[in-house]
Structure 1
C-alpha cells in the first residue's frame, strides 16, 4: 500500500528528516544523529542551569529551564515514534486505504477532501507559528546591548555552558549558525508531531461523518418505503466494517500518543509556569520589554501544545457520541425488525466512547486543559511570593 501521499508534503519532509517516516533512506543514521545532537544539547543546557542557579536572576533560570524541558519532551516524542514504528505504519496504511476507497463514494470524496485540505492548512500554519517563535527568540543577538560587546558575555541562541572559549569570532558565529538550524528543525518537528495528532483525529472524524451519513441514508423513508422494504445486506456489512475500522484507527492513535500525553500533562504545567513567572518578573526590569518580546510567542506555543492534545481528546469523544445519535435519528423504524436489529449493537458500542488518555489514567479533554492552566497559575503565584 502506497503511503507517500497520506499526509501533507511539509509533514512528510519533517518526519523524513528525523527518521520517523517509514522506508526513509539511512533511517537509523538519522535517528543516531538526532539522538546524539539532542543529548549533547541537553547536557550543556542543564549544566548551565546547575552552575548558574544561584548566580543569575531567578526568572532567567526559569526561562532557560523551560527551553531545556521543551527539548526533553521533543526527545521523548521522537523515541516514542521510533519505538512504535509498526503502529505508525499501520495508521498510515489505514489512511491510505481510506483515501483509495473515497473515489467509490461521493460522500467520502467530499468529506475526506475537506479534512485533507484543513489538515494541510494546519500543517503550514504550524510551521509559520513555530518559525516566528524561533525568530523572536533569536532577537537577542541583534539587540543593542552593551554587554554584547564583551567577548566573555556574547549571547547565544540557546544558553549553554560550553567547554571552550567563544572569544574567536569564527567559532562564535559557527556555534550561532549550528544553534539556529538545530533550533529551527527541532521546533518544527516538535510542533509537527502535535499537529500530526490533529491530522489523525481529523481523519478519524471524517470517517465518522461518512459513517453517520451512510446510516442516515441506508434506512428507507416513508416516501421510499413502498419501493424498498428491506435493507441491502452489503450496505449493512459496509457500515459495520466502517465502524470497526474507526474503532481500530482510534485505538492506534491512543497507543501512539497516550505516553506522550502523560509526559506533556506534567511537563507543560511546569513549562507554562516557568514562562509565566518569567513574564511576570520581567515587568519593570531594564530589559523587560526585550525579554517579553523574546518569549511571548514561546509562551503562546506552549499553551497551544497543551490545548492541541486536550482538544483532540475532546473532539474524538464528541465525534464518537455522534455515531449513536445518527443511528437513533435515522429512519430505522421504517425498516423491518430483522434489518434494524443490528443498530442496537451499534448504539451499545458507540456508548463506549473513543478518546485519548493520559497514560491510560485520565481522558484528555478541555477540562484537563483548564486544570493545567489553573495549576500553572497557582505555581506562578507561589514562586512570585517566594522570590
Structure 2
C-alpha cells in the first residue's frame, strides 16, 4: 500500500494493532484477539451489573454501567471499521494520491495541516495515557487506604468492575488480575485515542485541501486573466475531491458518531449520579478525582467528534466566500458559469452527522454537556 503523509506513525501503529489498517500481515489475528478479549471482558462486566441489580445496589449498577458502556462503544467502532474496510482503504489510497495529483498547487497548506494533525494525535494519545496511569494511581491509593482501615481482604476492589467466577482477592492472584486489567484498560484507551486522532487527521486533510483551494482562488488576478481557462478545471476537480472526501468521512463515521452520542449521554448521566453520591456520603477526595478523570476522558471524546464536525462545516462554507472574492468575472462566459456553479455548490454545507439525525457541532457538544449539569441538579433534589 502507498505511504500516507497525512497519517502519523502513531495512528498507523494503532490501526495495525486493532486490525484496521489494510494490508497488514496480522490483520485477521489482531481482529480475533480483540474479539475474544473484548467479549470475555464484556461478559464479566455485565455479569457484575446483573448481580448488582439483583442485590438492589443502585450505586454499583451505575458505576459498573459507566465503565462497561465505553468498552461496548469501542467494540462497535472496531466492528464498524472492519465492515467498512474497503471504504477505509479507498480513503487511504485517495489521500495518498492527493499529494501527487495536486502537486500543481501550492501544497504548503496541506503540509501545515498534516503537521498540525501529528501534534493533535500526540496530544490526544498522551491525554488518554495520562488519564489511565492517573486513574490506576488514584485507585491504588484508595485500595491502600481501605486495606489500612479494614483487614478483610474480601473487600478488595477491582480496577474494572467485573464478576469473576473465582475468588480473585487472594494474593498473588489479585495482583495478577490487577496487572491484566491495567494493560487491558491501557490498550482500550489507546484504541479509543487512535480512532479519535484518526477522525481529526481525516478532517485536517480535507481542511488542507480547502486551504489550498482558497490560495488558488486568490491567485486569480487581472494580470493572468488570459490563462484562467487552464486554471478553472483543476479548481473544479479539487472542489469535487473535497466534497468526495467529506462524504467518505460522513459514511465512515456517521453511525459511529450516533452511538458515541448515545453512549456519552448515558455515561455522563451515570457519572453525574456517582459524583452526587460521593458528595452526599463520605466525600472521598480520591474517588472524586477518579470519577472526574473518567468524566474528562468521556467528554474529550465527545468534544473531538463535535469539533471535527464544526471545523468541516465552517471550512466548507468559506469556499463560497473565497470564490466570490476572486476575479471570476474576468473569465469567458462559459468558464464564468462554471465558477458560479462552484460558488452555488459551496454554499451547501459539508458536515458530519450522527446517524443522519443531527449535525455534529459545538452546539451539539454543549447540549450533551448540559445534560451533566441538569442531571446533577436533579439527583441533588432527589
TM-score by structure 2 length?
0.93
Residue 298 of structure 2, aligned match among 296, 299, 302:
302
Q: C-alpha offsets along residues 41-77 of structure 1, whole Å, 9 cap, x if unaligned?
A: 1111111122123658644432321111011110010
1:85 corresponds in structure 2 to 85
1:157 aligned residue? 159
RMSD (CA atoms): 2.0
- 1:371 corresponds to which of 349, 363, 367: 367
For each residue in 1:293-351, what CA deviation from the matched residue of structure 2 results, as whole angstroms up to 9, or x when unmatched?
Answer: 11212111211111111111111111111111111011222334343221111012112
Partner of 1:126: 124
Match of 1:48 in 2: 48
Take 1:203 and 1:229, find their aligned partners in 2: how far apart are those partners? Answer: 30
Deviation at 1:205, TM superposition (A): 0.7
Of the candidates 300, 315, 320, which is equivalent to residue 319 of structure 1? 315
Alignment of 1:10-21 (within 5 A): 10-21=10-21
**Residues 229 and 263 of structure 1: is their aligned pair in 2 closer, same or farther, counting only changes over 3 Å?**
closer
Matched residue, 1:140: 139
With over 3 angstroms needed to count, the CA separation of the structure-2 counterparts of 1:3 and 1:166, relative to structure 1, is same
Alpha-carbon shift at residue 89 of structure 1 (Å): 0.8
Structure 1 runs not aligned, ≥5 long: none
Task: Give the drift of 1:255.
Answer: 0.5
Query: In structure 2, which of residues 306, 329, 332 is the aligned counterpart of residue 333 of structure 1?
Result: 329
CA distance in 1, matches of 2:3, 2:53: 48
Structure 2 matches for 1:108-119, cutoff 5 A? 108=107, 110-119=108-117
Contact (CA 8 Å) 1:230, 1:339: kept in 2 or not?
no
Aligned counterparts of 2:334 and 2:27: Cα–Cα separation in 1: 54
Q: Indicate how the Cα distance of structure 1 residues 229 and 282 shifts in structure 2: closer, same or farther if over 3 A, else same.
A: closer
- The answer to whether the 8 Å contact 1:314/1:365 transfers is yes
> Aligned match of 2:284 in 281, 284, 288?
288
Q: Residues 340, 189 of structure 1: CA spacing in aligned structure 2 closer, same or farther, 3 A cutoff?
A: same
1:312 partner SS: helix
Q: Which residue number corresponds to residue 218 of structure 2?
A: 216
CA gap of 1:15–1:300, structure 2 versus 1, over 3 A, is same
What is the deviation of 1:242?
Answer: 0.5
Q: Which moved more, 1:242-251 or 1:232-241?
A: 232-241
The separation in 2 between residues aligned to 1:262 and 1:4, in whole angstroms, is: 28
Match of 2:183 in 1: 181
> 1:198 aligned to 2:196?
no
